[in-house]
Amino acid sequence: MGDKCSNKRFQDMLHAYELHMLSGKDLEAFERHLLECEYCAREVARLKDVSELLEYDAQVALSLEQVVSRDEENSSASSENGPALGRRRYQFISTAVLAAAVIIFLVLKPWEIKIVPEKTAVAENRLTIMFFDNVQDPPDTSKLGEIATNLLINDLSESGYLQVLSNQRLYDIMRLLAFDGISRYDTNITSLVAEKARAKWILNGAILKIDPNIVITSQLSDVSSGAVIASQKITGRPGEDIFALIDTLALAIEKDLSLPSEMSLQTKIRVSQTGSQSREAWRYYLQGVDNYNRLYLQDASRDFDKALEIDSSLAMAYYYLALIKDPHLIEKAEDYSSKVGIKEKYYIDILRANISNDTKIADRLLREFVGKYPEEKMAYFWLSRIEQRRDHILQSANFLNETIALDSLYKMAYVDLIYAYISLDSFPAALHAADRYAAIAPDEVNPPDCRGDIYSAIGKNEEAIKEFQAVLKIKPDFNEYRTLKKLTTLQICSGDYSALDSSNRVINSFDARQKYWLLPYLKMYQGQLYQALNYFDSAAAITNDSIVVYRLNKARIYEDLNKPQKSLDDLEWVIKMIKELYPHERLAYRNLFIYYLARAGLVDSALFQAEQLGRWCEEREYSDRYYWGALGSIELARQNYARAAGYFDKAASPDRDLTLYYLAGIAYLFDNQYVKSAALLERVTRECPLVYSSGTWPVKANYYLGRAYEGMGKKNEAACRYQYFADLWKDADPQIECLLDARARLLKLK
């Protein structure tokens, strides 16, 4: 028995055990088998280190997700009595199939370890322009040196012949080499930057004089030999600004590099013909870009606003403001896009397509852009956002890892990667990404805040509370007190109400309009639905800022009170407001709206809306889960549970959609598919019910989960869920049907 395991059942279980995928009786049986089988015991010991790597390494976890995802797509739904192992989809695959996929992955893709040579090949015709020294103002408080660098990069980048390292890539390399903030660059620094950039040439420049006329010098060198190719000195006339001088300098550099004659065609637009001609506007604009990259979005917004006060034609300032606070400003960016270079025009067009939900156009533009500028990290970052919108979460994570490969210090990419892994339920990978983020930002509060969200998604409230408390020790008002709100809601869900009053005082003192930031949700959480309605009305009287969310939750409450028409009225108002605010948005609460239409008996209207939604998603290459989920919701409302379950089977999604999970869980329950029902409802109940504005559904899911357990014959587990639900709603409004049923079932089980 020491050479090979003769028991086929335990052979199939071996690798599933190594990946911590066995539970219950299977786990007990296999561990008893280990005492008898030398072969399996030896294999468990041999693969122990591998399984630990697999569990905690983000890159490996991502590759594993791809293998498993492909396997799931090609496998049929498992039988009802099989193990509930589907972590991201409604179709559940067996332990043996999943373990086999993992082993194939381990054999065929052994960690993809790559040895990267220290010296990389030099790219032909690539120029790196170092940040210009401002000799008269070494800290460059006026940002004139940075302005000159940006203008020259933009000017020379318009060529299809000369590759000029972008300002963003130069900034990233300087940070990666820990040269960020250094105002003077010696030969060693410039050579290291050039090597990292794989440049053939490097240009160092300086602004020697500002008043009464500007004097610029530059020196062009060959990187491999260190030989100086040419030197330039440009002296402006009194009153002549930096913009015209950069044109003259660019022409001199083109001549010194002996670039093709077509470079000097009259059709080439020079710096003095494009963009802002205000040095002060450029100073605020560059300061805004710097703050944006540091995730100081409020500061960045103020900088861009100041830049536009000085020069209202600065297209890229509108672009960033459209990203930060008002998508409609992309129209202003488009109006002035004739004054920007090719690269900036791409960015404006791409953002316009994204805001308009024109996924196909955005994808095509981005892939064109990557072909022209393969080292632009933001292109990969935006591709990740598109794939995320399409529900291609694995592909999104891939692009985020490519973004980080170009700039391992880019914090926004780490944030998105963490939440992509959370969407995939790949929590070890999410924690790994959070640790990598913390390594580059050890004194910042974002990493522990992200870790708190990870633990909250797992259902580990105690660990999440510790992370959020650590955030607040450093910055009590972090994210405008949103972390304090998350901490307070988790404490309440853990049964600790002690900090509620103090949290309310702090938040109300910050913004008196947030007097009811928690109270109506707390009443829903406790089943006091009529009080919740009154508090939502009181909150709406104070501020219009959150009225859409208030009306949404009122719709949810009316659904609980079995008043489908009132529920539909509120949600129709929400949909109308969202359409006015975001004319191109079609997904927000659309599935819920279709469900409420069907609940109100308007089945034809619901089916029409579902077909419209399906066509809209198909045109934009969005996931069809919204369409199948809508059909499932309609059949659930009509109590056609078998048909509803069939549609929800097709609504498989790697994204965490608690609304669909809840509705699908109920459909499976009433179709007597108890294992599937329990798997989805467990996910709904795992997280704090107050974290999301999901009405009472996360609380009521405990009742339905108890029903699923009861159907599976798990009486103790069912009783625990009924008891939890009954305790939570001990002071709930009377005559709530599911609460009365839960109490009756609990009495029978005792």
Residues 30 and 135 in one domain: no
Asked whether the beta carbons of 571 and 555 are under 8 A apart, the reply is: yes
Residues 747 and 677 in one domain: yes
Q: How confident is the model at residue 718 (pLDDT cuts 50, 70, 90)?
A: very high
Angle at 381 between CA 328 and CA 315, to 5 degrees: 35
Mean pLDDT within 296-314? 89
Does 254 reside within a domain? yes
Tracing tokens 């006060």 back to the chain, one arrives at 309
Rounded to the nearest integer, the mean pLDDT of the chain is: 80
Does 443 reside within a domain? no
> What pLDDT, in 10s, does the model give residues 368-412?
888 887 878 888 998 898 888 777 888 899 899 999 888 887 888
Of the chain, the end-to-end C-alpha distance in Å amounts to: 47
Angle at 684 between CA 522 and CA 602, to 5 degrees: 85
Does 392 reside within a domain? no
Amino acid identity of residue 667, one-letter, is A
What CATH number is associated with residue 670? 1.25.40.10
Does 692 reside within a domain? yes
Taking alpha carbons only, the member of 73, 294, 92 closest to residue 181 is 294
Residues 57 and 30 in one domain: yes
Taking alpha carbons only, the member of 166, 244, 132, 89 closest to residue 652 is 89
> What pLDDT, in 10s, does the model give residues 76-121?
333 333 333 333 333 333 444 444 444 333 333 332 323 233 334 4
Phi and psi at residue 673, in whole multiples of 5°? -100, 75
Which of 235, 251, 273 is the C-terminal boundary of a domain?
273
Q: How confident is the model at residue 180 (pLDDT cuts 50, 70, 90)?
A: low
Asked whether the beta carbons of 288 and 320 are under 8 A apart, the reply is: yes
Which of 256, 273, 290 is the C-terminal boundary of a domain?
273
Distance CA 23, CA 335 (A): 61
What dihedral angle (degrees, nearest 10) is formed by the CA atoms of 408, 301, 142, 145?
Answer: 40
> What pLDDT, in 10s, does the model give residues 665-688?
999 999 999 999 999 999 899 888
Structural domain for 210, as ranges: 126-273
**CA dihedral (226, 132, 234, 261) positive or negative:** positive
Tracing tokens 């100086």 back to the chain, one arrives at 228
**In sequence order, what are the beta bridge partners of 201?**
127, 222
Residues 104 and 179 in one domain: no
| DSSP letter string, 567-622 | HHHHHHHHHHHHHHH-TT---TTHHHHHHHHHHTT-HHHHHHHHHHHHHHHHHTT-
Q: How confident is the model at residue 23 (pLDDT cuts 50, 70, 90)?
A: low
Percent of residues in the chain assigned helix, strand, coil, to nearest 5: 65, 5, 30
What CATH number is associated with residue 194? 3.40.50.10610
> What pLDDT, in 10s, does the model give residues 324-353?
889 889 999 999 888 787 788 888 999 898
Mean pLDDT within 200-223? 82
Query: Is the bond preceding residue 654 a cis peptide, omega within 30 degrees?
Result: no
The domain tally of the chain equals: 3
Instruction: Write out 241-281 in H/E/C secondary structure.
Output: CHHHHHHHHHHHHHHHCCCCHHHHCCCCCCHHHCCCCCHHH
CB count, 10 Å around CB of 243? Answer: 22
Does 31 reside within a domain? yes
Does 377 reside within a domain? no
Q: Which helix (H) or strand (E) holds 164?
A: strand 163-164
Phi and psi at residue 594, in whole multiples of 5°? -65, -40
> What pLDDT, in 10s, does the model give residues 109-152?
332 323 233 334 444 677 777 778 888 878 778 778 888 887 78
Task: Extract the tokens encoding 247.
Answer: 């044109």
Does 402 reside within a domain? no
Mean pLDDT within 492-517? 91
CB count, 10 Å around CB of 466? Answer: 15
Distance CA 240, CA 245 (A): 8
Helix and strand numbers (H, E) in the chain are: 37, 6
